Amino acid sequence: MSESTEKPLLEVRDLAVSFFTPDGVVSAVQGVSFAIGRGRTLALVGESGSGKTVTAYSILRLIQPPGRITGGRILLRSARAGDIELADLGEEDELLYRVRGGLVSMIFQEPMTALSPVHTVGSQIAEAILLHQKRTVKEARELTIEMLGKVGLPLPSVYYHQYPHELSGGMRQRVVIAMALVCKPELLIADEPTTALDVTIQAQILGLIKTLQRELGCAVLLIAHDFGVVAQMADDVAVMHRGIVVESGDVRSVLKAPQHAYTRSLLDALPSRRRPA
């Protein structure tokens, strides 16, 4: 099947998410649609409050009360598990358990919220392997050490036994990336993975994600607010504003000729586009 006719790995259609509060209903996401092809990177870009993270969390069914998905469909065409309607899965559904961390993984903004402070980083990655793969404890440990090496940690067998608080922010984020990719997901969701890091480390982490994506062949949904990052990382882009997608297309076309005023305002915020007074 040619690339032009192959069905996308993930297809989101008319997704709606609302939060039911004592003060009324808040529509966080309204009729959002996009698709991600296998091996491609789609960036959801927008300012804080635009709905991009709520959209990403909906894919893994991580929206907590008082929020809930109120409409639309989220279709994952998995090569390993067949077509899965993610929006229809219940919290106790065994298939959802298989999806989270197995078929679809996530890198969170702040690594300390994704890692347990009372367990070593190695044991946390090994646990993910044991949950999603038929491996022995010894095999899980060996695979964990191998993955820690792939994400650029020196002496991975030593870092296996360390706790999150013993690592720098950049090293912790590398551990989170290792945990997200160790089970070879078909889709990786990266929720502003470099927000908490300094500029030098940001570039290293983005480069690492891109390298491992090529190696593993997974698709990536990148959540971002910075078009500089989007230009570096993504093939396609969907711009979100106030809960809706206002513009989408391949990155080059959108960067070259943005059609929506909000997209133009985001691009004008790039340092390279600012003109001296």
Taking the C-alpha atoms of residue 248 and residue 253, their distance in angstroms, rounded to an integer, is 9
Taking the C-alpha atoms of residue 132 and residue 134, their distance in angstroms, rounded to an integer, is 7
Residues 122 and 211 in one domain: no
CB crowding 226-253: b at 16 or more within 10 Å, else e? bbebbbbbbbbbbbbbebbbbbbbebee
Beta strands in the chain (DSSP E): 10-21, 24-36, 41-45, 67-78, 82-85, 104-107, 187-191, 219-224, 236-241, 244-250
Taking the C-alpha atoms of residue 233 and residue 89, their distance in angstroms, rounded to an integer, is 31
Enter the tokens of residue 19. 């939060």
Residues 196 and 89 in one domain: yes
- Specify which residues 224 forms β-bridges with: 45
Residues 97 and 206 in one domain: yes
Answer yes or no: is pLDDT of 277 > 50: no
Answer yes or no: is pLDDT of 274 > 90: no
pLDDT digits (tens, 9 = 90+) for 4-55: 568 999 999 999 999 999 999 999 999 999 999 999 999 999 999 999 999 9
- Specify which residues 68 forms β-bridges with: 18
| Within a domain: 152 | yes
| Within a domain: 259 | yes
pLDDT digits (tens, 9 = 90+) for 50-100: 999 999 999 999 999 999 999 999 999 999 999 999 999 988 899 999 999
Boundary (domain end) residue, out of 160, 184, 208: 184
pLDDT-based confidence at residue 276 (cuts at 50, 70, 90) = very low
CATH number of 229's domain = 3.40.50.300
Answer yes or no: is pLDDT of 275 > 70: no
pLDDT value of residue 273: 58
> Strand, helix or coil at 39?
coil
Residues 250 and 119 in one domain: no
- Alpha-helix runs per DSSP H in 182-225: 199-216
Does the global pTM surpass 0.85?
yes
Residues 128 and 142 in one domain: yes
Question: What distance lies between CA 213 and its chain's CA centroid?
Answer: 12
Domain boundaries, position 233: 1-103+188-270
Which is nearest to 36 in space by CA: 210, 232, 183, 187? 187
Residues 95 and 126 in one domain: no
Whether 222 contacts 43, CB under 8 Å: yes
| Within a domain: 30 | yes
pLDDT digits (tens, 9 = 90+) for 168-215: 989 999 999 999 999 999 999 999 988 878 888 888 999 999 999 999
Residues 113 and 205 in one domain: no
- Counting every residue written for the chain, the total comes to 277
